[in-house]
Structures are given as C-alpha cells and as structure tokens.
Structure 1
Amino acid sequence: MSIEKAGDLGFTLLEILLVVILLAGSGFYLLIKLPVNFEKQRLAFESTKLLEEIRDARQAAMAENNWYAVKFYCQSGDHHYQIFKQGKMMKNIYLDDGIQFVGQPGDAKGELRFNALGRSAGTTITLKNSLGERKSVVVAPVGMRIREK
C-alpha cells in the first residue's frame, strides 16, 4: 500500500506553463494562417464559379441554337459580369469583396460571345485576390475547351 502525500495531487508550475505556451503557439499560428487560407479559398471559389457560368452559357447557346454573351465590368470597386441571351440579360453575378478582374477580359468591348455552335473568339479571364494571387479561366477558340489555369 502506498500513501499519497497532499502535494502530489496537482500539476506543477512547469506543466501548466508548457500547456499554456503550446496553446498560445497554436492560437498564434491559426491567427496568421486562417485569413490567408480564406483568401485562397475565395479566389478558387470565384474562379470555379466563373468557369461554370461560362460553360453553362456555351452549352445553352448550342442547346437553344442562339448566341450567348458574357460581358465583364471592371470599374473601380465594382467587378461583376452579366450573361446575355440574344441581347437580353439573364444573370448578373458580382465577385466577392477583394476579388477582381485583372485587365479587361474578353474582346475590346469586354465581352465573350458564343454563337449557336458554341464557338467563340477565345480569351483568358484572370482573377486576383487581395493577396495578389491569381487564377485564370481560359476559353480556347480552337477545340472549344474551357479550363482553369
């Protein structure tokens, strides 16, 4: 049989300090890394959403035997794009805060147009987040491939 002393029941100061230091270090790491990861995820989400909207417009042009256009607006602070079916606006999509177009996407008028066969002149649309990271959506004129880069 062993008899425990009253002083053996708690934690030592060193053990408590070690746990506090580990928790503080983990908290600091998360405080630094989480905003960066959120920005990367927002950019990836917006890029994928743009890719899907362009693919949908192309598919609709071929299925309905009409022309569709995606028009890009890059004014300061107001980055969005609209989808048109034979000149009539169908959708208006705004980019998340902090995400913006780089340059003027599309042709000289800021437009990407699909004819009834689903063909276009092709373009590269580049998005940038507040960290300066970029993702692009490439619409190839030959082969009609639309992909992320």
Structure 2
Amino acid sequence: MCKVKANDRGFTLLEMMLVLILLAGSGFYLLIKLPVNFEKQRLSLANTQLLEEVRDVRQAALAENIEYDVKFYYQAEDHHYQIFRQGKLMKNVYLKDGIKFFGSPGDNNGLLKFNALGRSMGTTITLTNSSGEHRSVIVAPVGMRIRAE
C-alpha cells in the first residue's frame, strides 16, 4: 500500500490554469457559433412550416372542391401570409423575427390560388434570414408538385 504525503494532495497551479483555459476556449467557441446555428434553424423551421401550409391548402382545395388562396405580405413591417377559403380569412401566419420574404412571393401581386382541381400558377416563394441565407418553396405549375429547396 502506498502512503500519501501531506504535500502530494490536490492539483498544481499549472493543471488548474490549463483546465480554465480549455473551458474558456470552449465557451468562446460556443458563444460565436450558437447564434449562427439558431438563425439557420429558424429559417429552416419557417421554410418547413410554409411548405406544409401550402401543401395543406392545396389538399384542402382538392378535398373540399373549392378555391383557396394564400396571400403574401412581403412589403409590410411584419412579414406574414394569410390563408383564405373562398375569400374568407382562415389563418394568419407571421414569420419569426429575423425571417422575411425575399423578393415578391407568389403571382398576381403576392397571391397564390388553388382551384377545385388543386391547380395553381407555378411560383417560387423565397425566405431569407438576417445572415443572408435563402430557402425556397417551389410550386410547380405542371403536376402541382410542391417542394422545398
């Protein structure tokens, strides 16, 4: 059995400084990288939500055999879009802070229409974040495929 002397317990000053420097470096790295990742995730979430909303509107137009519209407000302070069922407002969807429309989404002055056959004019709706990254929802005029890019 090994005896421990009174002077051999604990950590040296060098070991303590090394641990503190490693922790500070890790913290600094996370402090820089986390906000960028949050921006990307927020943009991705907004794009996925928009994709699902447009798909749901098209499916509802097909199922109910009536017209649905999605109106995009891209010039307003609070970028948002509204869903209409035969001209009656059904839902308001506001984009998260830092996310806005890029360019002019939708045709006919920001209006995307789905008729009883589920058809619409083809368009691309692009979202951007404060970092300048873009994500798009593409509505194809032929085959009515709706996809994200």
Common fold, TM-score beyond 0.5? yes
Please give the alpha-carbon distance, in whole angstroms, between the structure 2 residues aligned to 1:2 and 1:42. 58
Task: Give the counterpart letter for 1:34 in structure 2.
Answer: L
Range moving further from structure 2, 102-111 or 115-124: 102-111
Please give the alpha-carbon distance, in whole angstroms, between the structure 1 residues aligned to 2:128 and 2:115. 29
Residue 82 (structure 1) aligned with residue 71 (structure 2): no
Task: Give the counterpart letter for 2:130 in structure 1.
Answer: S
Please give the alpha-carbon distance, in whole angstroms, between the structure 2 residues aligned to 1:93 and 1:74. 12
Task: Give the counterpart letter for 2:92 in structure 1.
Answer: N
Query: Unmatched 5+ residue regions in structure 2?
Result: none
* 1:1-149 matched pairs, under 5 angstroms: 1-149=1-149
Task: Give the counterpart letter for 1:57 in structure 2.
Answer: V
Task: Give the counterpart letter for 1:148 in structure 2.
Answer: A
Q: CA deviation at 1:78?
A: 1.5
* TM-score using structure 2 length: 0.97
1:80-116 residue CA offsets vs partner (Å, 9 max, x unmatched): 0000011111000000010000111111321010010
Q: CA deviation at 1:76?
A: 4.2
Please give the alpha-carbon distance, in whole angstroms, between the structure 1 residues aligned to 2:109 and 2:3. 87
* TM-score using structure 1 length: 0.97
Q: CA deviation at 1:77?
A: 2.2
Task: Give the counterpart letter for 1:21 in structure 2.
Answer: I
Task: Tell me the number of residue pairs that the alignment of Structure 1 and Structure 2 aligns.
Answer: 149
Q: Give secondary structure in 1 for the equivalent of 2:92.
A: strand
RMSD: 0.9
Query: Unmatched 5+ residue regions in structure 1?
Result: none
